[in-house]
Structure 1
Amino acid sequence: MRSIEDIEVGGKTVLVRVDFNVPVDAQQRITDDNRIRATLPTIQALVDKGAKVVLMSHMGKPKGKRVPELSLAPAAQRLGELLGQDVALAPDCIGDEVAPLVDGLAPGGVLLLENLRFHDGETTNDPEFSRELARWGEIYVDDAFGVAHRAHASVVGVTEHIDTCVAGLLLKKEVDYLGTALDNPARPFVCIVGGAKVSSKLGILENLMGRVDRFIVGGAMANTFLKAQGYNVGASLVEDDLLDTARDIMERAKAAGVSFYLPVDGILGTGPQGKLASGVCPFQDIPDGEMVLDIGPATHTLFAEVLKDAKTVVWNGPMGAFENQAFSQGSVGLTHFVAGLEAMTIVGGGDTDALVHLCKMTHKFSFISTGGGSFLEFMEGKKLPALQVLQG
């Protein structure tokens, strides 16, 4: 897969798909600019080489309607601050109003198109909409791993109308790190899987079964595995329809020689919004009316022992309801432990990303993926539409 490092861009108009789908508050102020910062190396490289840079992104789910609250104006302003130069916002992403703004770009200039999803054609991969987007570039660059799993016009359709299509530095970095973890990991290779539901992580467990040396399973999804073994999990969240599947996964792991670790104790509460924890309890003795909302101290010790000699760690999903301080210590403690490992440590998924940022430990991890759904699908071994079109 070629990247911007492999082509000449000086003086060319370069159309770049970025992911500026950032959170904003009621005053339209960006509350987390990490997605903008992540693509700065690509944008800066194009600017430094004298390209005329036209950026396009979506924001939220306006469902084909112009929603003022979902304008990319805050992103244009923030990007300008980070680049140290003016970044104009086009009034739309297609149409005659945009043409003079693109034509007027000087080498090193940057223009951001308005929200792609103000048009239905983006999500339906409409050929005419794709053709209209392609008007704005002699070269197409995809630097939006967060939507790499979407067969949308700005990801797939546009590539049919531009001859030179390459990856940006962020997209290339994502593929290099995640690909290495899957295909050539340093061992022991440990995968940490957490979050609420087994159903959302089945693909990862299935695809990594023959690749990893150890699985660590935490979060509410661990309850399903524990119940499948015959333990009472009280009022905890459980997917009863997946108990047989959970048993099958554990049996397959055993047959494949993959160690499979579950929590041995948990922090209890009456619900994830509760202000106080009820206490710590071994998993053999969970009371009927209580919920397991975090891993306990014995589990942290166990998981730390499993991880201490790891050379590759891939982590998706927190260990509990970490957004509530009463049930955050397991996830926070594990974050600090993994951050201190002498290993390739890769984090993916929105909740896990948020957890690492909450702990202010981003600089301690080898790589933090910018993808949510795309990270999951890559780890599941699925073909991502964005990569397919760039790899030919």
Structure 2
Amino acid sequence: MTAFSLEPAQLAWCAELRALAAERLRPLAEKGEPGRVNRALLAELGTLGLLPRLFTSGALDLCLMRESLAHACTEAETALALQGLGAHPVHAHGTEAQRTRWLPRVSDGSAVAAFALSEPDAGSDAAALTLAAAPDTDRAGAGGPGAQPSPVPTPLAAHRDGPSAWRLTGEKCWISNAPEADFYTVFARTTPGAGARGVTAFLVPADRPGLTGTPLDMLSPHPIGALSFDAVPVTADDVLGEPDRGFRVAMGTLNLFRPSVGAFAVGMAQAALDATLAHTTAREAFGGRLRDLQTVAHQTAEMALRTEAARLMVYAAATAYDEGAPDVPRRSAMAKLLATETAQYVVDRAVQLHGARALRRGHLLEHLYREVRAPRVYEGASEVQRGIIAKELYRTLDATTEEAGS
């Protein structure tokens, strides 16, 4: 299979997903309260077997799920994606105990996951985060909050020097599903002054003492909030991966999910394009159908062209990830950048061609117009993606030059 054509079974699966999203997920989404976790919607995603696929599918399948769901129900798509984003580090880097405790509950929708990377002063520059993980020598060797200290070190602590318990102090901000998540993948600084090399990933249950959250009133249908850590206790049993190597956990997760953010955007763009084709066919204007005006026809052609180009780049990036290609960071950034910028353009053009009716509360395009803006910011703003692309291009050039000169 190539990245540029889907097998008949994949096309049929996408059609099935679009139908399920329209018939079973959208009604639940419409009953949800904006800015709150829709647990009924999550449970249905689990019942349909879509949440478990987050941990058994490759990047391309993830993109097909997100694109198909977004076409008919953006709320369902986002609920699925946030479960994957928050829980993927547990799936990929967690201990057996961590996976056993949380992944079945994420898969059936009974536990809400969240990815806590951004901070008030460390959003685009994630390596500058300051949430401090200070060694807690009084609890070193403890098995978790409330456990008694043990003279026997945890398995992780037994294989490295340094503390086996910490206290997290600081803030996180712009965290999707906060403050309603049941657990957070939290990135904290364990080695001051070490940049990206001094960050550790922790799995932090929401009921840990000292952890509180505040909802933020955002242009978003799902909850986004701030988290405050007041000496929150964590131990080596809560570490995801290895101490001081949490930035790899974060970037590995983002490299997987960035193309699928692009898929989400492509799904929205396709929905806007489909609505525009239907509207310009039915709408009478200037003595004929709107679609017969050359200026309208050319705009719809441009919308279709950009949407398909973005789709192909998303599929190519996802296939590269699945094949373990060396240029995944560049491809992921390109896919996310092109698709989100394209979706913004396509939805905006669709609103223009629909006129005032598209701005009425409850219209599909009014909904998409609000939804399409955020993906250009989260998981790395468009400017960050351009920086990643340039860095990878020059890194490849420098490596090639060095190899040729040796």
> What is the TM-score with the length of structure 1 in the denominator?
0.25
> What is the TM-score with the length of structure 2 in the denominator?
0.24
Structure having the larger proportion of residues in helix: 2
